[in-house]
Structure 1
Amino acid sequence: MNLKTAVVKESSKMKKIRVKAAVINGVNEDYQFEELTLGELYPDEVIVKMVASGMCHSDEALRVGDAAYPLPAVLGHEGAGIIEEVGSSVKDFKVGDQVIMAYNYCGTCPSCRTGHPSSCNQWTTLNMSGSRADGSHTFYKEDGTPVSNFFTQSSFAAHSISNVNNLIKVDPEVDLRLVGPLGCGLLTGFGTVVNGLKAEVTSTIAVFGTGAVGLGTLMGAKIAGCSKIIAIDIHDSRLETAKELGVTHTINSRTENLAERIAEITDGLGVNYSVDTTGISSVMKASIDILGIGGVTAPLAVTSNSLELNTFMDLVISNRSVAGVLMGDSVPQLAVPLLIELHKEGKFPFEKLVKFYKFDDINRASAASNSGETIKPVLIIDESYRKDEPVAYQ
């Protein structure tokens, strides 16, 4: 069977549900709006009418080719919406439920069964392959060309098919326009501190980069009870935002000597933990250099850059270590409701990072994120949602 025959055979199963989606057709191209057809709904899946979606650096990394991904694709993985249809085996969700969307996992491998679904044996296949595990797709162009799905979510679309393992049900009073970023960037930052690093009360931590993941990490450090919380960036405006969120110290590494300031803040001991969200090789190395004895660093960025180090001098001699932490080692169905509660209590004020954009302005929102103008762009995909409570668009 040739590829064209396979595409026709697969697409012949599809319901003709047409949806507006922002498509990336080639590396470093802009998002282009197209009308796609949804594929077949599997028994353990739902159709979600998207209300809003955050834009994450991982979307940008795929768009510009920092990480290889099969194109064309519908990106987006910080979606929030309302269920419109459920598959035949879905039991815990119903039409009309409000949901936040995170990543997919199998639920049956040893990692999943021991509470670490971000270490799922099939994580890459389910979230990064562009198709389901059986090779089928959830989006098609008019001519039957399959379009890759991202994170079994693809939230840059008016409707999308998602697996039940992606979903976190939230109460009807939760405003879906705000909470999408809890499914990835903020989940990653918060979880890295409390699950990945397991930062102790009174410990010290430094975070390189004050985008959404970095600020989520810093807010998590405050909740964890870290005594010295250091934000490092080259933009004073972002460092001011970090101060508003409760960090104890800020360093502009462009205008200040990083090593001297860390020594001053930590009485020469270095920090217990560091987190890099920039993905820049020299910055990742600096995140190791500022560690104290027994310190741990977590590099979180999706990047094409590498880290060079001398394992004995940089790690062994000071008992330092580098920790890989994917998605904050979090169980989304447990962590996201906790973050919503912490937000209600004023302890996780992530609304200070968010600016709203209309879906049609996705390329402008992407540019604003890349320039640093906006920390966390959120696209409003369904403008009819809560029309009596309008948001302020950029």
Structure 2
Amino acid sequence: MRVAIFEEAGAAPALQEVEHTPLQDNEVLVRIAGVGICHTDLTGLNGNVPLPTPAVLGHEGAGVVEAIGADVEGLEAGDHVVLTFDTCGDCRACGAGHPAYCELFAPLNYFGTRLDGTTTMVQGDREVHGSWFGQSSWGTHAVASARNAVQVDRDAPLHLLGPLGCGLLTGAGTVLNVLRPQPGQSIGFWGMGTVGLAGLMAAKALDCENIVAVDLNDDRLALARELGATHTFNPSSTKDVVWEILEATGGLDSSMEAVGLGSVVREALGSLRSPGVCATVGLQTLENDITIDQGHLLIGRTLTGVIEGDADPHQLIPGLIRMWQDGQFPFDRLITEYPLEELATALEDFHAGKVIKPVLIPASSSY
């Protein structure tokens, strides 16, 4: 396996050879066809999530199953899969259909090891920490569990499907599973990255009437209009973005913010009619204090946090692919492809806001 290892927080990842450790009974080895870069990966790189190092990031992988553990059912070598977050499958939340709130979400996705403390990769006698969102897929291969490998049809563009495992799942799932706007209702989105635009496309597919997009980047606002936004606002070009949204729409039935800054949360909450619901999905750090006006809540507005779109990936990912096939979810318009060897350039472009969703393609990929 060739993977992108970073040695310590703030260090640039570099491609290096490693070996995967023996597959456990519930695990699969996947040859990566394409893997996205997500803002959550950046939190790992800069140390805002305390992942032990050396480590490998990447949690939007898609590829072909090459080997399976002894107890894996429903998957076999040659299957096409999208890798998503890992869950235990047994706790109360998982049993209730809310795997994103799995009681073991943190140790399965953030700790850098399997639950038994072993690593999925070694480099000689050195352990390399993987299991980032149950996969660590910045490389040619990834070890995942059968739980977080979602089988998909072979006629879908496998190398582009990885972002369905996190960023696209989060945005679209928040709209489809949590906010659930009805046809003719109004909805707003703050932050026109992958998550915000995915939510916007889902709202368009649900026939929302007024769809508001807010961002500081005029090019992204232009794309939002092409994808279904009826109103766009750049806060740097307005005196009071909340007032202008209220004036244009009469207030939003729901909103989603994908930035995570307190000022943005307040805008998304304040733009609601009463009653109305605002979902916050943006992540700055694990500890991120925000303040809101209690008056916004007392008049019937709700602020809720959402992880991974409150989605069951095994249901939603195939559903989003079907929406794409029907022309209702053109997520491929958000993607810019890079060879895996150009990871540094992809990270630089992503951090600078030049691209929305970079996807790394290993040289061995032919999908």
Q: Distance in 2 between matches of 1:157 and 1:192?
A: 29
Counterpart in 2 of 1:307? 290
Counterpart in 1 of 2:72? 90
SS of the counterpart of 1:206?
strand
* Contact 2:119/2:127 (<8 A) preserved: no
Counterpart in 1 of 2:169? 187
Q: Distance in 1 between matches of 2:149 and 2:115?
A: 18
Counterpart in 1 of 2:327? 346
SS of the counterpart of 1:151?
helix
SS of the counterpart of 2:64?
strand
Question: Which runs of structure 1 show a deviation greater than 6 angstroms over 4 or more consecutive aligned residues?
Answer: none
Is the counterpart of residue 56 in structure 1 residue 23 in structure 2? no
Cα offsets for 1:70-112 (capped at 9, x unmatched): 2221110110111111100112111111111111111111211
Counterpart in 2 of 1:336? 317
Matched to 1:152, the amino acid is G
Q: Distance in 2 between matches of 1:355 and 1:335?
A: 23
* Contact 1:185/1:212 (<8 A) preserved: yes
Counterpart in 2 of 1:176? 158
Is the counterpart of residue 323 in structure 1 residue 304 in structure 2? yes
Superposition CA RMSD, Å:
1.4
* Contact 1:29/1:63 (<8 A) preserved: yes
Length, aligned pairs only: 364
Q: Of 317, 340, 343, which residue of structure 2 is paired with 1:359?
A: 340
Q: Distance in 1 between matches of 2:348 and 2:300?
A: 41
Cα offsets for 1:23-55 (capped at 9, x unmatched): 121112211112122112101111111111011
SS of the counterpart of 2:237?
coil
SS of the counterpart of 1:47?
strand
Counterpart in 2 of 1:246? 228
SS of the counterpart of 2:236?
coil
Is the counterpart of residue 121 in structure 1 residue 121 in structure 2? no
Counterpart in 2 of 1:237? 219
SS of the counterpart of 2:106?
helix
Q: Distance in 2 between matches of 1:327 and 1:132?
A: 21
Counterpart in 1 of 2:366? 385
Matched to 2:245, the amino acid is I
Q: Of 237, 255, 273, which residue of structure 2 is paired with 1:274?
A: 255
SS of the counterpart of 1:81?
strand
Q: CA deviation at 1:128?
A: 1.4
Percent of aligned pairs sharing the same letter: 36
Is the counterpart of residue 112 in structure 1 residue 94 in structure 2? yes
Q: Distance in 2 between matches of 1:221 and 1:68?
A: 35
Counterpart in 2 of 1:372? 353
Q: Distance in 2 between matches of 1:24 and 1:211?
A: 25
Unpaired stretches in structure 2, ≥5 consecutive residues: none
Is the counterpart of residue 80 in structure 1 residue 62 in structure 2? yes
Cα offsets for 1:184-212 (capped at 9, x unmatched): 10011000011122222222111111000
Is the counterpart of residue 162 in structure 1 residue 144 in structure 2? yes
Unpaired stretches in structure 1, ≥5 consecutive residues: 1-18, 387-394
Q: Distance in 2 between matches of 1:352 and 1:200?
A: 26
Q: CA deviation at 1:384?
A: 4.3
Matched to 1:285, the amino acid is R
Q: Distance in 2 between matches of 1:185 and 1:244?
A: 20
* Contact 1:293/1:319 (<8 A) preserved: yes
Q: Distance in 1 between matches of 2:6 and 2:128?
A: 13
Matched to 1:291, the amino acid is L
Whose Rg is larger? 1
Q: CA deviation at 1:118?
A: 0.9
Q: Of 251, 263, 267, which residue of structure 1 is paired with 2:246?
A: 263
SS of the counterpart of 1:285?
helix
Q: CA deviation at 1:383?
A: 4.0
* Contact 1:71/1:148 (<8 A) preserved: no
Q: Distance in 1 between matches of 2:105 and 2:365?
A: 34
* Contact 2:235/2:241 (<8 A) preserved: yes
Counterpart in 2 of 1:15? none
Name whichever of 339-348 and 174-183 sits farther off: 174-183
Matched to 1:74, the amino acid is V
Matched to 1:42, the amino acid is Q
Matched to 2:296, the amino acid is D
Matched to 2:256, the amino acid is V
TM-score, scaled relative to structure 1: 0.89
Name whichever of 278-287 and 55-64 sits farther off: 278-287
Q: Distance in 2 between matches of 1:119 and 1:218?
A: 24
* Contact 2:55/2:112 (<8 A) preserved: yes
Counterpart in 2 of 1:26? 8
Q: Of 280, 283, 295, which residue of structure 1 is paired with 2:276?
A: 295
